[in-house]
Amino acid sequence: MPEKRPRLAVTIGDAAGVGPELVLRLASDSDVAEQCQLLIYGSHDILQRVAVSAGLAIPPSLRVCPGHTRTAADVRNTGEHILYDFPFDEAATITPGRVHAACGHHAHAWICEAVRDIQIGHAAALVTAPINKAALRAAGIQVPGHTELLARLTNGAVPCMAFHSERVFVSLATIHEALRDVPDLLTTPGLLHTIRLTCAACARFKRAQPRIAVLALNPHAGEDGLFGNEEHEIIAPAIAAARAEGLAVSGPLVPDTAFTWLAAGRTSPYDGYVAMYHDQGLIPFKMVAFDTGVNVTLGLPLIRTSPDHGTAFDIAWQGKASSSSFACAIRLAARMAAAPDS
Counting every residue written for the chain, the total comes to 342
- The whole model's pTM is what? 0.91
**Region 4-33: what's the mean pLDDT?**
95
Both 169 and 152 in a single domain? Answer: no
Both 243 and 114 in a single domain? Answer: no
Both 84 and 165 in a single domain? Answer: no
Phi, psi for residue 51 in degrees, rounded to 5: -60, -45
Residue 182: which region, alpha, beta or left (left: phi > 0; alpha: psi -120 to 50)? alpha
> How many domains, in total, are found in the chain?
2
**Does the pLDDT at position 1 exceed 50?**
no
Query: Which of these three, 295, 314, 333, is where a domain ends?
Result: 295
Long-range contacts of 71-80 (CB under 8 A, 24+ apart): 72/122, 75/7, 75/37, 75/39, 75/122, 79/1, 79/5, 79/33, 79/37, 80/37
Query: For residue 93, what are the domain limits?
Result: 1-157+300-342
- Give the residue among 257, 261, 259 at the shortest CA–CA distance from 273: 259
Query: Which of these three, 278, 295, 312, is where a domain ends?
Result: 295
pLDDT (tens digit per residue) in 163-213: 999 999 999 999 889 999 999 999 999 999 999 999 999 998 876 789 999
Both 287 and 339 in a single domain? Answer: no
| Alpha carbon 45 to its chain's center | 26
Please report the sign of the dihedral spanned by the C-alpha atoms of residue 214, residue 220, residue 226, residue 227.
negative
Alpha-carbon distance of 310 to 101, in angstroms, equals 17
pLDDT bin (cut points 50, 70, 90) of residue 342 is very low
Both 48 and 129 in a single domain? Answer: yes
Return mean pLDDT, the chain.
93
DSSP state for residue 136 in the 8-state scheme: H
Both 148 and 36 in a single domain? Answer: yes
Both 30 and 141 in a single domain? Answer: yes
pLDDT bin (cut points 50, 70, 90) of residue 36 is very high
Alpha-carbon distance of 89 to 178, in angstroms, equals 36
**Does the pLDDT at position 77 exceed 60?**
no
169-172 and 272-275 as β-strands: parallel, antiparallel, unpaired? parallel
Residue type, 247: L
Both 188 and 92 in a single domain? Answer: no
pLDDT (tens digit per residue) in 264-279: 888 889 999 999 999 9
Which domain CATH number covers 169? 3.40.718.10
Both 38 and 151 in a single domain? Answer: yes
Q: In what order do the strands lie in the sheet with 63-66?
A: 63-66, 82-85, 37-42, 7-11, 125-128, 304-307, 294-298, 160-164, 169-172, 272-275, 211-215, 248-253
Contact at 8 Å (CB) between 272 and 210?
A: yes
pLDDT bin (cut points 50, 70, 90) of residue 340 is low
pLDDT bin (cut points 50, 70, 90) of residue 2 is very low
Partners of residue 272 on adjacent β-strands: 212
Residue 137, C-beta contacts closer than 8 angstroms, at least 6 positions apart = 104
Q: Could you tell me which residue, 113 or 222, shows the higher pLDDT?
A: 113
What's the pLDDT score for residue 261? 93
Alpha-carbon distance of 104 to 115, in angstroms, equals 17
Both 12 and 147 in a single domain? Answer: yes
| Cα–Cα distances in angstroms (integers) from residue 115 to residues 11, 35, 128, 198, in the given order | 10, 21, 11, 23
Both 164 and 283 in a single domain? Answer: yes
Long-range contacts of 28-34 (CB under 8 A, 24+ apart): 28/56, 28/57, 28/59, 29/323, 29/327, 31/327, 32/327, 32/330, 32/331, 33/1, 33/79, 33/81, 34/1, 34/2, 34/5
**Does the pLDDT at position 221 exceed 80?**
yes
Alpha-carbon distance of 193 to 336, in angstroms, equals 21
Both 26 and 96 in a single domain? Answer: yes
**Does the pLDDT at position 57 exceed 60?**
yes
